[in-house]
Amino acid sequence: MSKKVRVRFAPSPTGGLHLGGVRTVLYNFLFARHNGGDFVLRIEDTDQNRFVAGAEEYIFECLAWCGMKPDESPVAGGPYGPYRQSERKSSYREYAEKLVAGGHAYYAFDTTAELEEMRTIYKTEQNPSPQYDHQLRMKMRNSLTLGEDEVTRLISSGVPYVIRIKMPEQETVHFSDMIRGEVSFNTSTVDDKVLLKHDGMPTYHLAVVVDDYAMKITHAFRGEEWLPSAPVHILLWKYLGWMDDMPQWAHLPLILKPDGNGKLSKRDGDRLGFPVFAMNWTDPRTNDFTQGFRERGFLPEAFVNMLAMLGWNDGSGQEILSMDELIQRFSIDRVHKGGAKFDFEKAKWFNQEWIKKSTPERLKNDVKAILEKNGIVVSDDNYLLSVIGMVKERCTLLPDFTEQSKFFFQTPEIIDTESIRPKWNMDKSVFFKEIQPVLAGLQDYSAASIETAFKDLATARSIKMGELQLPFRIMLVGGKFGPAVFDIAATIGKEETLLRINRALEQLA
């Protein structure tokens, strides 16, 4: 019998949630749901210097917006709490001490200055960044070099120290990554990472294994940047005696910047004009503002869909997939190995597809919020619904609804008379005067009957219908865009139609 699938997303609450972070959550979430497992959110707040107010709430809101509610979290609780590492502080020391007792870790008393000194002394052209490793540790101040009495004396007199893992020499650590297959490392090339900091908090390295063990995590997904430290984690699982419970690892490819190479950063978004965070974020310390996909006008369905396809596909060629479909089709072995460059044009396409696919009802609240934000009063929801139905295939991002539907709610202030004038003449002027009483007399003010009225009068005055449609459109809309003219006329109503014709005639006179 296999264990119930349990995965976790473990962000550090230090700022806005990056695209890549959301994708990592997404793959976790899809994997959990696909396998009927649990999805837990754990907060990695072991670095108290990096505490950022509001960052944790922000993460929750992002997940909620994307439709990925954790089954267990600091807020929802669960049987394996606490879910905030700072609240689990006491348990880490115990394990670190156990490692020391077992000879797999040691106390190190080196000060920051001494570490810096070591790095400058041993820095050479061949080795620009010396590591605290099996070669150098015997030259440092630690429980391997100091002698038992001295170590006890230092500790009891309150001298700050850290606990470091003692990496073995010339061993090969290998494991099977769900995405990359067999991966192996020579332990001699890995440094003695700090496990427990002087303030008693664990580093990521210790915390991730203690917590994954405690929370019975079965599959651990994280970014590719963690691959080099994987041997440390694996050895920790081994030394702690938990090898049988070690999760299966999957190191996800990175999301790269669109131009050039390298990890996509917030700065790239600022530079190239697209969002990188899920939602707006203002750093409380620096007041540095970063735009989010949500506020830029993305539907969460599209955002999630786009992210899912950045590094994964099911081989069917179908790209527009709902969360439920993604859950059904997701499989970790179809995740790419190589990083993917982010393409904002394609991201917009996903959103456009989702807007087209969505019902007016689905879009109603989002559009209403956008319109009201732009000073457009929506008093009749049914009217809004029919407007959305007419304009949604013209919108790529939510804010596009403003320009595309403004004229349904407000008489255009300025109209593009320049586009009418070249072909404007007395006949047309007369036509638009004569059409007014005809429209006014219409019993059934529908698109079809307005069109018939136009045709009849056009025929009688020997004017081509086509000659009339553009001016009429500009009178009603203000410019050369929008849905079918007669539909617009019918929607805004008789009175408004007549008003707009008159106004335009005045401007053309």
Dig out the tokens for 235 from the structure. Answer: 């050895």
Count Cβ neighbours within 10 Å for each residue of 259-272 and write b for 16 or more, e otherwise. eeeeebebebbeee
**How many angstroms separate the CA atoms of 292 and 58, rounded?**
12
3-class DSSP state for residue 290?
strand
350 to 29, 185, 377, 404: CA distances (angstroms): 20, 40, 29, 19
Dig out the tokens for 363 from the structure. Answer: 């879009």
Q: Give me the residues paired with residue 271 across strands.
A: none
Q: Is 189 left (phi over 0), alpha (psi -120 to 50) or beta?
A: alpha
**How many angstroms separate the CA atoms of 82 and 238, rounded?**
24
State which residue, 292 or 478, has the beta carbon closest to RNA. Answer: 478
| Orientation angle between helical segments 485-492 and 381-391, nearest 10 degrees | 170
**How many angstroms separate the CA atoms of 308 and 301, rounded?**
11
End-to-end CA distance of the chain: give it in Å, rounded. Answer: 85
**How many angstroms separate the CA atoms of 482 and 395, rounded?**
11
State which residue, 280 or 469, has the beta carbon closest to RNA. Answer: 469
Shortest reach from residue 197's CB to RNA, in Å: 3
**How many angstroms separate the CA atoms of 5 and 423, rounded?**
70
**How many angstroms separate the CA atoms of 469 and 454, rounded?**
9
Shortest reach from residue 261's CB to RNA, in Å: 3
State which residue, 285 or 464, has the beta carbon closest to RNA. Answer: 464
Shortest reach from residue 47's CB to RNA, in Å: 4
Shortest reach from residue 195's CB to RNA, in Å: 9
Shortest reach from residue 316's CB to RNA, in Å: 8
Shortest reach from residue 484's CB to RNA, in Å: 5
163 to 60, 183, 191, 508: CA distances (angstroms): 33, 27, 13, 83
Q: Of the candidates 431, 440, 450, which has an alpha carbon nearest to the alpha carbon of residue 491?
A: 450
State which residue, 412 or 437, has the beta carbon closest to RNA. Answer: 412
DSSP 85: G
State which residue, 128 or 437, has the beta carbon closest to RNA. Answer: 128
**How many angstroms separate the CA atoms of 311 and 330, rounded?**
12
Q: Cis omega (within 30 of 0) on the bond before 399?
A: no
**How many angstroms separate the CA atoms of 289 and 295, rounded?**
12
**How many angstroms separate the CA atoms of 303 and 355, rounded?**
12
With beta carbons less than 8 A apart as the criterion, state whether 186 and 172 touch: yes
State which residue, 11 or 292, has the beta carbon closest to RNA. Answer: 11
**How many angstroms separate the CA atoms of 187 and 61, rounded?**
41
3-class DSSP state for residue 244?
helix
With beta carbons less than 8 A apart as the criterion, state whether 289 and 303 touch: no
State which residue, 285 or 441, has the beta carbon closest to RNA. Answer: 285
Shortest reach from residue 384's CB to RNA, in Å: 19
3-class DSSP state for residue 364?
helix
State which residue, 433 or 455, has the beta carbon closest to RNA. Answer: 455
Q: Of the candidates 273, 303, 364, 287, which has an alpha carbon nearest to the alpha carbon of residue 62?
A: 303
Shortest reach from residue 303's CB to RNA, in Å: 15
Shortest reach from residue 393's CB to RNA, in Å: 4
Which of the following is catalytic: 266, 348, 392, 428? 266
Active site residue 356: no
The values of phi and psi at residue 427, to 5°, are -55, -45
Shortest reach from residue 346's CB to RNA, in Å: 4
State which residue, 288 or 381, has the beta carbon closest to RNA. Answer: 288
State which residue, 110 or 301, has the beta carbon closest to RNA. Answer: 110
Q: Which residues are catalytic?
A: 266
